Amino acid sequence: AQSVTQPDIHITVSEGASLELRCNYSYGATPYLFWYVQSPGQGLQLLLKYFSGDTLVQGIKGFEAEFKRSQSSFNLRKPSVHWSDAAEYFCAVGATLHGNQFYFGTGTSLTVIP
């Protein structure tokens, strides 16, 4: 069965520090992978996506993610965090099987301290 795991429920970083949010997935074929961000009281906004090709993908707001097939991972990174990055982050796997479903991780809440 398809699943997405975000092992870190909550992360706190200092402004200007680097960030890595972890995501592992379980899927029977080559997955379509996504990271979404949700600011308080808002819907989800797409940060970046991986369909195929270069395993390092660039997204909006200075984020990047790397697909590692051998580790079934798609970790999100940012070299220098800004206070406005404080939000909830969701990793997702897109499936092209029946119903074209999306599978989400449980999310990682990011706090940024001055």
Partner 1 sequence: DVKVTQSSRYLVKRTGEKVFLECVQDMDHENMFWYRQDPGLGLRLIYFSYDVKMKEKGDIPEGYSVSREKKERFSLILESASTNQTSMYLCATLKQGVEAFFGQGTRLTVV
d(CA 55, CA 95): 18
**Per CB under 8 A, 35 contacts partner 1:** no
Listed ranges 20-28, 54-62, 76-84, 102-110: which one lies at the site for partner 1 (CB under 8 A): 102-110
CB of 77 to partner 1, least distance (A): 21
Which of 32, 64, 66, 72 binds partner 1 (CB under 8 A)? It is 32
Contact 23, 4 (CB under 8 A): yes
Nearer to partner 1, 39 or 84 (CB): 39
At a CB cut-off of 8 Å and minimum separation 6, what does 75 contact? 20, 21, 22, 23, 65, 66, 68
Nearer to partner 1, 32 or 77 (CB): 32
